Structure 1
Amino acid sequence: MTTLVQMLLGLLAAAGFGALLALAWLYFHQERSLFEGEPLPAGHRFSMQGPDVEEVSVPVPGATLSALHLKLPQPKGLVFYLHGNAGNLERWFANVDFYREAGWDLFMVDYRGYGKSTSRIRSEAELRGDVRACWDFIAPRYASLPRVIAGRSLGTGLATGLAAVVQPALTILISPYRSMRAVVAGHFPYVPQRLLRYPLLSEADLPRIDGPVLLLHGTLDELIPHSHSEALLPKARRGRLELIDGAAHNDLQEHEPYLAALRSALDGV
């Protein structure tokens, strides 16, 4: 009996030690799960570059960020777009014709480790600092025109935080989340919240945005359920929610009601 108890205690101790190792790995390596950037060689030329799309390099502390800039002859204003957690600009800077037809310039940056951007993401503060540096780099050129901040998925938390500080003419949140903690809790309820080093508290930043906020969300989104947008809406001072029937997380841009809502919001600025 004593031997059996000792074995059980040993197994429990081993299991506990294994769990601690797993939690420690999660704490120190969670960037691998949150940020799925695909690097590109320094000499890569983006397929959408042309007469009105140029690549721009934005210097930030310890890194250089790669961005693409759609520049129209007489734009209505600027859309500053923060993309999702996977891929790079080759994937995300894809719907350029929509912005050409709408008459808006578009500026989109790759985060550290994405595309041709150098270094790697190491903290939420650094990530937010990079986003602010990119805004400060491009926004002054449009000081006399409306400036819109848009974010999609991961980028919505960054967009909300930036908009709360710089107060754009319009904020567009596409598939947003209450917080990254809430997203993780929905999928992995056993993970302790205090381990997450990227809380990205959109629900705390949203009430500080003075201007209009448009939330767009697919009804079939399983990664970030539309309940997140429904919970965020009451926190916005001037919020509007458009649920896109039949759209999931990755195909939202393929649905005409999404594009129509986006175009209407831009036309209303």
Structure 2
Amino acid sequence: MTTLWRFALAAALLYAGVVAALALTQTALIFPRWAMSGAESRLPSDTRRLQVDRPGGVTLHGMDLPGPRDDLPVILGFGGNAWPADALANYLRAAMPDHRIVVFHYRGYGPSSGRPSARALAEDALAIHDHLQARNVVAVGLSLGSGPAAHLAARRDLAGLVLVSPFDSLTNLAQGHYPWAPVRLLLRHRMEVARDLEGVQAPVALIAAGSDTIIPAQRTAPLREVASNLVLDRTIPGAGHNTLYEHPDFVPTLRAAVARMIPP
């Protein structure tokens, strides 16, 4: 065997090994529960604990932070893959103190049992919504949470949908980060946000970070083409994927988005 053939074989084996590792670790990469260890955030004293039982013995745990105004929509939050649910609940409460805030731990996260998957999170979103029995709900999906939030909005009658740092498709997003890998063949977790958005009749708001390298602009752009009732579309210049929420323009933009979903 020539040196060239040995090199080619070694390169092929290395590539196969890296691709195999990517395939085997994809769930941990998409749902990095290992990054969520630590003490829970202290919740307000008026917080109510919620529980939703799912098939297979899975129990989802959430929190309900009451708001002073029953005439405003309930904010149902779906966080990013490494944002603890209790911390998100506190953030949304501080951002929109007049609203009732509901956030659940994804399955496999925090006290919720089970193993996370894109399909399971989508189905859980429907179950959580139905458990609330609230007629006036705005779903807020952040980053990965855009998937279950859009899935819910396409299948239930919501007051509105706010997507923050959203992507059109998890497959497209992953392919952009791993252009050398056969992502479309390997990816088991599918979130088709653009496809779901085509079926959403409720008002939709899109908020993006202008310097986002994790979910780049080209992954958000297709959503503008399919949202039939787009009431707010704002990109915050200079904000990154993880610094967006600290940007001084973010909370006012989030409030403006929800306000446009409240009938006059």
Q: TM-score, structure 1 length as denominator?
A: 0.86
Indicate the SS of the match to 1:84: coil
Name the residue aligned to 1:134.
128
Asked whether the equivalents of residues 73 and 99 of structure 2 are also in contact (C-alpha less than 8 Å), the reply is: yes
Residues 200-215 of structure 1: matches in 2 within 5 Å?
200-215=191-206
Name the residue aligned to 2:51.
57
Name the residue aligned to 1:97.
94
Residues 1-269 of structure 1: matches in 2 within 5 Å?
4-5=1-2, 8-37=4-33, 38=35, 46-51=41-46, 53-61=47-55, 62-75=57-70, 76-95=72-91, 96-100=93-97, 103-121=98-116, 123-138=117-132, 140=133, 142-143=134-135, 146-192=136-182, 193-239=184-230, 240-268=232-260, 269=262
Indicate the SS of the match to 2:168: coil
Indicate the SS of the match to 2:252: helix
Number of residue equivalences: 255
Indicate the SS of the match to 1:231: helix
What is the identity, as a one-letter code, of the residue corresponding to 1:58?
V
Gap regions ≥5 residues in structure 1:
none
Indicate the SS of the match to 1:132: helix
Q: Which runs of 4+ in 1 moved over 3 A?
A: 7-15, 38-41
What is the identity, as a one-letter code, of the residue corresponding to 1:172?
V
RMSD: 2.1
CA distance in 1, matches of 2:50, 2:40: 12
Indicate the SS of the match to 2:90: coil
Shift in Å, 1:242: 0.7
Q: Residues 96-148 of structure 1: CA distance to partner in whole angstroms, max 9, x if unpaired?
A: 22221xx2111111112211112222x3222211222111111x1x22xx211
What is the identity, as a one-letter code, of the residue corresponding to 2:81?
N
Shift in Å, 1:39: 5.6
Shift in Å, 1:266: 2.1
Asked whether the equivalents of residues 229 and 241 of structure 1 are also in contact (C-alpha less than 8 Å), the reply is: no
Identity %: 28
CA distance in 2, matches of 1:220, 1:19: 31
CA distance in 2, matches of 1:25, 1:212: 41
**Structure with larger Rg:** 1
